[in-house]
């Protein structure tokens, strides 16, 4: 399945409800799903991680649609090379996070 088809499918299934919830409300659901993915990773539960990643993808696509973003076009930014250093594999300096 291509990303554009996935976005059209999510729009057909959830578009009306997403528009009713509006962008802020839908974005809050996405954040909640990211929290559930974090829990699955922390628990070392690959089945739960599988489910939560699919939820995060679906909610991300919903937010994209509400923002007028074509996810296939957005993903193409990362399709071949790193968008920052324009290389593959990425050669950007690794920044310490925590």
Residues binding Zn ion (CB under 5 A):
82, 84-85, 90, 92
Residue 43 vs 78, nearer CB to Zn ion: 78
| Residue closest to Zn ion (Cβ) | 82
For the record, the structure tokens of 53 come out as: 């990643």
Residues 6 or more apart whose Cβ sits within 8 Å of residue 62 = 10, 14, 18, 26, 29, 30
Q: How far is the CB of 53 from Zn ion (least distance, A)?
A: 23
Q: Which is nearer to Zn ion, 13 or 90 (CB)?
A: 90
What is the C-alpha separation between 49 and 36, in angstroms, rounded? 9
């Amino acid at each position: 399945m291509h990303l554009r088809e996935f976005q059209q499918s999510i729009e057909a299934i959830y578009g009306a409800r997403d528009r009713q919830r509006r962008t802020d409300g839908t974005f809050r659901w996405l954040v909640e799903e990211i929290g559930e993915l974090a829990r699955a990773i922390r628990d070392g539960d690959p089945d739960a991680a599988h489910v939560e990643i699919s939820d995060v993808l679906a909610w991300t696509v919903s937010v994209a649609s509400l923002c007028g973003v074509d996810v296939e076009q957005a993903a193409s930014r990362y399709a071949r090379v790193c968008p920052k250093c324009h290389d593959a594999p990425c050669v950007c300096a690794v920044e310490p996070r925590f």
